[in-house]
A and B are shown apart, each in its own frame.
Chain A
Amino acid sequence: MKFKYIGFFIALLCTAVSFGQIKIKGTVKDKANVPIPGVNVIIKGTSSSAATDFDGNYVLNVPNKNAQIEFTFVGFTTKLETIGDRTEINVILEESSQTLDEIVVVGYAAVKKSDVTSSISSVKGKELQTMTVGNVTESLQGKVAGVQVTGQGGPGAQPRVLIRGISTLNLNTDPLYVVDGIPMGTSINFLSNNEIESMEVLKDASASAIYGSRASNGVILITTKKGKEGKTRFTFDLSSGMQIMNNPYNMADAEGYATIMNKAYNNSGYSDYLPNPSQYRGKTTDWWKEGIRKGTPVTNASLGISGGSDKHTFGISLNYYNSESIYGIGGWERVTMRIANDFKFSDKFKAGITLNPRYETWGAPGNWADFDKIDPITPIYKPADQLNGTENEYSIYARSPSYVWNPVAAVNRYDDYTDKYNLNTNGYLQYEPIKGLVIRTQASIEVGDEVRNSFTPDFVIDAAHEKQEINNVQKWNTTNVDWTWQNTITYSKTFAEKHNASLMIGNTMEEYNGNNLWGYGEGVPNNSDSMRELNAATKNKDSKGNSWSSSLMSYISRFSYNYDGKYYFTGTFRRDGSSKFMTNNKWANFPSASVSWRILNEGFMESAKDVVSDLRLRAGWGKVGNQGLPDAVYQSNIGQGYYVIGGEVVDTSYPSSMANKDIKWETVEDMSFGLDFGFFKNRISGSLEYYKKQTNDMLFLKQFPTYSGFPGYSTMWTNVGSMQSSGIDLLLSYKDKKGDFSYGVDLTFTTVNVKMLTLSADGEKLYGSGNRTLTVKGDEPGYFYGYVADGLFQNQTELNSHTDEHGTKLQPYAQVGDVRFKDVNGDGKIDEKDRTKIGSPWADYNVGLNLNFGYKNFDLVANFYSSIGNDIVNQNISDLYNGASLTNKVSGLEQMAWHGEGTSNSIPRLSKDDNNENFTKFSSLYVEDGSFVRMKNLQLGYTFNNKFGLDKLRISLSGQNLWTWTKYTGVDPEVAGGDPDKGDRVKGSGFGGWNYPVQPTILMGLNVAF
């Protein structure tokens, strides 16, 4: 009975306690009004807690009105609410970009940001999605310190991405892209920015060495969006607008052209080329207006569905991108789909599969320069009296005496389009038999087919100069099947509470297979669309085909350890075996080590924690490689070509390349030191890093010496030379919130210094880009090499004094107004030996400035990017200012060019003959300051939350590349590398010409979630 009383008393107490509690409920959402499942809702100072369900809802009993509830979730700022009289508390959590608990992908693993010991920068997908670009790497511009992105205009163009400068001279400089753990090569044109959850840039070797032989240019890890637990959610993102194509030059009209050309002829002693220029007044052919569209549409759209339970999540997105060309035909169109399913069978088993079908089509003429270069007097079409009615539709166009092919006709003839179909399947299976031990296997297969069709119709615009007597049809088909399989075992354990260790070992296998087929035929009976098939060709049919394969097998491992969150160590080791190398060097090892000291967690920092939110020193070392040379360099090859035998030219074979059995990887050894810091609750944060890396055993394609007996064209890959690059990366961030107003500033600063340490022989000179660049030991690679243009001869006295000591003219054909070339070596003559360094394509530093502001439901983003201290060769100077050619010139050139003392010191006099070689000698006349500051993006948005039956509706207006400051007078200061097929990727950097400009773009955006 006594126990009954006791039981009753306890029950009564419980009831009383229960009666004293307050039931609180509510919903937790993010800023975009999306419910967040799994948020930890805890009564501060107690162990009582609850978690939000799929819809972000929670219910919690709190003891009294004074209790405080804390809402915490990874990646979001913790929020604290006092109960007061409320029974329903709805919370909006804000994402944190500096949370140290944030998960960072590091290659074959993901770790907490606080545990990262090497140089890794993260960019969230949301930041990338503020811009509408075909290639998502363009959005990276200015956002990551140490990453230099040079934009390329044109639909489907791929920007040049350099991570901490260059580490190779002859191979590709693009980083390795790894999408969801699968290496995908050096281009991610196939990815929509709406598919990306986050990007991690592995900048130093201690971070990237786990990718071994392909990591010397850095690695960019991309994590795509997956399904999230919670109710099914639909999103629709659309941005659509116009790309603006302004004529970069104000070209002369017909009368102006005649005046300019007459002056050029007269200055050379000839009579007028086009007498009485006024007769052409009002008769200008406006080629640009006729053939180039000022505005071309661009659209980026994504439809997404995601959701799931704790057993299964799914994310499906359908993405569409379309950028039309400026010619009114062609462009680039991409449709991709990503279907991601993740399954949790039990606490021990997980699996997932992602399907990624893609379709791309592209093709557009490339002759926009001709619309400026063709003379403005020639009409577009032949006059009626020059037509006899038998011409086909491509032969009715007029021929220009300027020798520029009629660009309107060329666009009309254009028929060269490529379709690409790909399917990528990526799946994994993960097993965790005991806590901390994860066994994972992942496999991916990529199947692709690329079909290019081309047709060149027959036409005769001018029988001597502009014609195609027989039409031809061509077809290329390239198929690839690539697969990857990787297996890892990871064991993580904490010992004695303070020793945290993790060990991962694994292996990977990759194989890349491809084949191509080309068909050619001539004499298709007519030019109609239906006849544009190889089967319709009647003459000169030809075909070629080839196949290739390469594979890579690797063993990987990583060991991480930290003591009490203060002292960190990470070591990685990768052993790569590549089919590209022969037995002697088939396998190579790529180790790395990095340490970090999180000073903040030291006892002596306790008193400073109000001010210092993060303080950490890092140091890393590693070796990475570059195997980006052709697949079968171990083979000797026979080439076909014409050769003189016994005085007769014969079509024959010759040894074109010889195998080098000792060929091996280019190896880059890298050291870096970093300081990460955060102050005032990370309102101010950033990192400062210094790095130095050295490339050894550089791969060169060398010719044989003549005494070897091989023809001059024969080549062999060999490992010679070394180079070094060093620099500083700085990231500074500031963010704050005052009431409804929030703002943030990110500043990135990048410097790169590159120099050649050794070449294959002392004193060796490596020329590039048609002998216009030089690479020598002790200097930066690919610097501009030419004559020094020392202004113009302003008067006869200056001209007369430009002699050697005996009065012999250094430039015998020069006249007043011509370029004065400097006798650099002072030997009394102007010759090859006077060529010297006249500029550098490499920037002294790059700066990015990213601003974001928020006020209530408004948001504003502005991104700026600049490149300072680099030079650009403006190759268009010859086209625009040289009177020797009959192409059109810039308007008013007769006044801009030198026409009397003091009238110009940079644009030579107009001359038909150019006997002084003002324009044919490559000189500093062509070299301009290539520095620029560009406003990459300006976007204003407004968000409606819970309106119109939608969770979220955001509308935005943005402008991309609206403003650029530069002294460069060419088309666009964003000028990348040269032709990689000619080995000029590095040695031909910085040559601007009629490169397709990065276009200003105006866009409207719509983001819907429900």
Chain B
Amino acid sequence: MKKNVFLFFLALFGILLTGCQNNESGFPSSDNPTVVVSTKEIYGAPSRKFEIKAALADDLGLKSVQIQIPELSLDKTISFATNPLLESYDLSYFFEVPANRGTSEAFKIKLIVTDVSGNVVNEEINLRLDGEFAAPSISMITPKEGAVILLSTSNDMPVNFVVNDDSGIDYIQIKCEELGIDETVQLDGAPHSYTFNKTYKLPVTAANYVLTITAKDKFTIPNTGSININIVATNEYPAIYLCDQPKGTNLTTDAVGVPMYFHEKTGQDFEFKYYADKDNKEIYFLGQESDFAPHCFGLNASNELIDDVASTPIILPTKGYYKIKVNPNTLKYTAEKYTPSSKVWADVANGLWHDDAAQRKPFVSVCGGGIQGATWDTWDAWTQKGLHLANNASNPYQLVGEYTLTGTMEATFTGQWWDPSWRLIKNGIATMSPGENGNAKYSAAPGVYKVVLDTELERVFITKK
């Protein structure tokens, strides 16, 4: 009997002691939380985000979920509010794989789910980095964007491009609704590279066309790439450009002004005003803006103008301003030096120009977008001294500076209170106020650029430094 009494009290105190134990969580015990992942295997790739999805639930309340990939330096804890308690949570967490990881690597994603009672559940997901997410790359050989096909010469449109893809190309497609082109090339064996080369005939009437080329790869989750090429089929050149860069130069790295758009056009007589910044300056005329081909006008061995990518440059003998006329049909050109008579604005940049407003604080700066430090507020243009243009010591008609571009840019070069100002419209034209309306937007790779505002030419040249 004594033994039973002893055991009774032992059990009673045992229960009481158990009951008196400090429950640190402050919540009653509950069942383990549950984790249902959307997939046990996730594809990722270097420099690419992947998503971890899971449905978390707990009968009492969730406390936290910890996501760990130690090899990729991920250790994220998401804590949940406890007032009110959260019984379910749809985890959707994105993480970018570091660029320096190899595509052959694989990792375990560990999910540690804890509920308010202190129950912990672990779940693992496989992460593979051999996923392929890049669309097939399409490299146009011809025609290039903005290509001009002179119908008077030929109505052939050769289409030549190369497609590359790491996981293999499924098919390519060439479409141009106006020309009735809708051609799909299904490729066998999913080659990593494919070259397309075919010549299409164009109608003899002038028109603009958009050629759409699409390529699709064969990855588990297919990727599709596409580009649009604008083509001008014409009996005459819509524009001629003056290029003072050596052949082979990439003409798409500048933001504005290279090659230079013509100043006047009468029929096929194009007139340029141009400043040769040194003696024996070499120039070409181009029939398109972004490439030396197909129409590059230079000199042949007889010093005659020819439309040939292999031609030699036209040479402007001495430094200074020129009026240059060219006709791509008659293949005639003239280059005549002249002395500008427009107002010299150098004093503005010097801070000297304040005859009209006694307290004016002259400067030439820029307002716009995509230029570091610049806004559309002239106050910023004034206070951001780094935006101020300075005189070109060797040419009073040029104001020069250096800007950092952050992306697509637009600009109006301005003195105090927009007086004077030069609005940068399309084709690199800096129209002086009142001038033409409409600031044009120019795409530019982020970086530091040299800026030349030529007030005589009313042109802006913004080239990568």
B299 within 8 A of A: no
Complex contact A649–B418 (CB within 8 A): yes
In the complex, identify which listed stretch (B29-37, B75-83, B209-217, B240-248) lies at the interface while the others stay far away: B75-83
Contacts known (A464-B388, A464-B390, A800-B74); A807 close to B93, Cβ less than 8 A = yes
Complex contact A463–B93 (CB within 8 A): no
Complex contact B358–A540 (CB within 8 A): yes
- Could you give, for residues 446-467 of chain A, a 1 whenever the CB lies within 8 Å of some chain B CB and a 0 otherwise? 0000000000000000011101
The interface residues of chain B lying within 8 Å CB-to-CB of A540 are 354, 358-359
Name B390's contact: one of A463, A542, A796, A803 (CB within 8 Å).
Answer: A463
Complex contact B76–A464 (CB within 8 A): no
Complex contact A800–B94 (CB within 8 A): no
Complex contact A808–B94 (CB within 8 A): yes
Name B351's contact: one of A467, A649, A796 (CB within 8 Å).
Answer: A467
Cα A540 to Cα B78 with chains together (Å): 67
A642 within 8 A of B: yes
Complex contact B350–A469 (CB within 8 A): yes
Complex contact A469–B352 (CB within 8 A): yes
B306 within 8 A of A: no
The interface residues of chain A lying within 8 Å CB-to-CB of B74 are 797, 800-801
**Is the contact region of chain A dominated by helix, strand, or loop, or is it mixed?**
loop
Q: Which of A723-737 contact B (CB under 8 A)?
A: none
Complex contact B351–A795 (CB within 8 A): no
Q: Name the CB-closest residue of A to B78.
A: A805
Complex contact B350–A463 (CB within 8 A): yes
Additional A-B contacts beyond A465-B385, A467-B351, A808-B94 (20; CB < 8 A): A403-B385, A403-B386, A464-B388, A470-B352, A540-B358, A540-B359, A542-B358, A642-B417, A649-B418, A800-B72, A800-B73, A800-B75, A800-B95, A801-B74, A801-B76, A801-B77, A803-B76, A806-B93, A806-B94, A807-B95
Contacts known (A463-B390, A464-B390, A795-B73); A807 close to B351, Cβ less than 8 A = no
Chain B nearest CB, measured from A225 CB (Å): 51
Q: Which of B46-79 contact A (CB under 8 A)?
A: 49, 52, 72-78
- Could you give, for residues 371-406 of chain B, a 1 whenever the CB lies within 8 Å of some chain A CB and a 0 otherwise? 000000000000001101011000000000000000
Cα A192 to Cα B178 with chains together (Å): 95
Contacts known (A464-B388, A649-B417, A808-B94); A469 close to B76, Cβ less than 8 A = no
Chain B nearest CB, measured from A790 CB (Å): 15
Cα A493 to Cα B73 with chains together (Å): 89
Complex contact A469–B351 (CB within 8 A): yes
- Could you give, for residues 540-575 of chain A, a 1 whenever the CB lies within 8 Å of some chain B CB and a 0 otherwise? 101000000000000000000000000000000000
The interface residues of chain A lying within 8 Å CB-to-CB of B358 are 540, 542
Name B73's contact: one of A642, A796, A805 (CB within 8 Å).
Answer: A796
Cα A803 to Cα B95 with chains together (Å): 10
Cα A467 to Cα B94 with chains together (Å): 54
Cα A803 to Cα B73 with chains together (Å): 13
Chain A nearest CB, measured from B393 CB (Å): 8
Q: Name the CB-closest residue of B to A468.
A: B351
Complex contact A800–B351 (CB within 8 A): no
Q: Name the CB-closest residue of A to B89.
A: A805
The interface residues of chain A lying within 8 Å CB-to-CB of B77 are 801
Contacts known (A403-B385, A465-B385, A649-B418); A805 close to B93, Cβ less than 8 A = yes
B302 within 8 A of A: no
Q: Name the CB-closest residue of A to B416.
A: A649
Could you say which of A797, A799, A807, A808 has the most chain B C-beta atoms within 10 Å of its C-beta? A807
B349 within 8 A of A: yes
Q: Which of B105-123 contact A (CB under 8 A)?
A: none
Complex contact A800–B76 (CB within 8 A): yes
Could you say which of B49, B52, B76 has the most chain A C-beta atoms within 10 Å of its C-beta? B76
The interface residues of chain B lying within 8 Å CB-to-CB of A800 are 72-76, 95
Residues of chain B at interface, number, CB under 8 A: 28
The interface residues of chain B lying within 8 Å CB-to-CB of A465 are 385, 388
B92 within 8 A of A: yes
Complex contact B73–A797 (CB within 8 A): yes
13 example contacts (A-B, Cβ-Cβ < 8 A) are as follows A463-B391, A464-B349, A464-B388, A464-B390, A465-B388, A469-B350, A469-B351, A469-B352, A540-B358, A800-B76, A801-B75, A805-B93, A806-B92
The interface residues of chain B lying within 8 Å CB-to-CB of A649 are 417-418
Q: Name the CB-closest residue of A to B52.
A: A807
User: Which 3 A/B pairs are nearest by Cβ-Cβ distance?
Assistant: A464-B390, A796-B73, A807-B94
Residues of chain A at interface, number, CB under 8 A: 22
The interface residues of chain A lying within 8 Å CB-to-CB of B75 are 797, 800-801
- Could you give, for residues 788-827 of chain A, a 1 whenever the CB lies within 8 Å of some chain B CB and a 0 otherwise? 0000000111011101011110000000000000000000
Could you say which of A403, A464, A465 has the most chain B C-beta atoms within 10 Å of its C-beta? A464
Chain B nearest CB, measured from A518 CB (Å): 14
The interface residues of chain A lying within 8 Å CB-to-CB of B92 are 806
Q: Which of A639-665 contact B (CB under 8 A)?
A: 642, 649
Q: Which of B83-108 contact A (CB under 8 A)?
A: 92-95, 98
Cα A799 to Cα B76 with chains together (Å): 10
Q: Name the CB-closest residue of A to B362.
A: A469
The interface residues of chain A lying within 8 Å CB-to-CB of B350 are 463, 467, 469
The interface residues of chain B lying within 8 Å CB-to-CB of A801 are 74-77
The interface residues of chain A lying within 8 Å CB-to-CB of B49 are 807
The interface residues of chain B lying within 8 Å CB-to-CB of A463 are 350, 390-391
The interface residues of chain B lying within 8 Å CB-to-CB of A799 are 73
Cα A225 to Cα B5 with chains together (Å): 99
Cα A795 to Cα B417 with chains together (Å): 49
Q: Which of B324-353 contact A (CB under 8 A)?
A: 349-352
The interface residues of chain A lying within 8 Å CB-to-CB of B354 are 540
Chain A nearest CB, measured from B307 CB (Å): 41
Chain B nearest CB, measured from A809 CB (Å): 9
Cα A795 to Cα B95 with chains together (Å): 16
The interface residues of chain A lying within 8 Å CB-to-CB of B349 are 464
Cα A215 to Cα B52 with chains together (Å): 68
Q: Name the CB-closest residue of B to A467.
A: B351
Chain B nearest CB, measured from A887 CB (Å): 14
Q: Which of A461-491 contact B (CB under 8 A)?
A: 463-465, 467, 469-470
Chain A nearest CB, measured from B446 CB (Å): 11
The interface residues of chain A lying within 8 Å CB-to-CB of B52 are 807
Chain B nearest CB, measured from A402 CB (Å): 12
Q: Which of B175-216 contact A (CB under 8 A)?
A: none
Q: Name the CB-closest residue of A to B386.
A: A403
- Could you give, for residues 4-20 of chain B, a 1 whenever the CB lies within 8 Å of some chain A CB and a 0 otherwise? 00000000000000000
Cα A369 to Cα B95 with chains together (Å): 46
Q: Which of A511-541 contact B (CB under 8 A)?
A: 540
Chain A nearest CB, measured from B89 CB (Å): 9
Chain B nearest CB, measured from A826 CB (Å): 9
The interface residues of chain B lying within 8 Å CB-to-CB of A542 are 358
Q: Which of A763-811 contact B (CB under 8 A)?
A: 795-797, 799-801, 803, 805-808
Q: Which of A65-96 contact B (CB under 8 A)?
A: none
Cα A801 to Cα B92 with chains together (Å): 15
Cα A467 to Cα B418 with chains together (Å): 23
Cα A542 to Cα B73 with chains together (Å): 67
Cα A37 to Cα B325 with chains together (Å): 110
The interface residues of chain B lying within 8 Å CB-to-CB of A403 are 385-386
Q: Name the CB-closest residue of A to B69.
A: A800
The interface residues of chain B lying within 8 Å CB-to-CB of A642 are 417
Q: Name the CB-closest residue of B to A808.
A: B94
The interface residues of chain A lying within 8 Å CB-to-CB of B359 are 540
Cα A542 to Cα B359 with chains together (Å): 10
Chain B nearest CB, measured from A234 CB (Å): 57
Cα A649 to Cα B73 with chains together (Å): 56
Q: Name the CB-closest residue of B to A809.
A: B96
Cα A649 to Cα B418 with chains together (Å): 9
The interface residues of chain A lying within 8 Å CB-to-CB of B391 are 463
The interface residues of chain A lying within 8 Å CB-to-CB of B95 are 800, 807
The interface residues of chain B lying within 8 Å CB-to-CB of A469 are 350-352
Chain B nearest CB, measured from A126 CB (Å): 53
Q: Which of A355-387 contact B (CB under 8 A)?
A: none
Cα A470 to Cα B353 with chains together (Å): 11
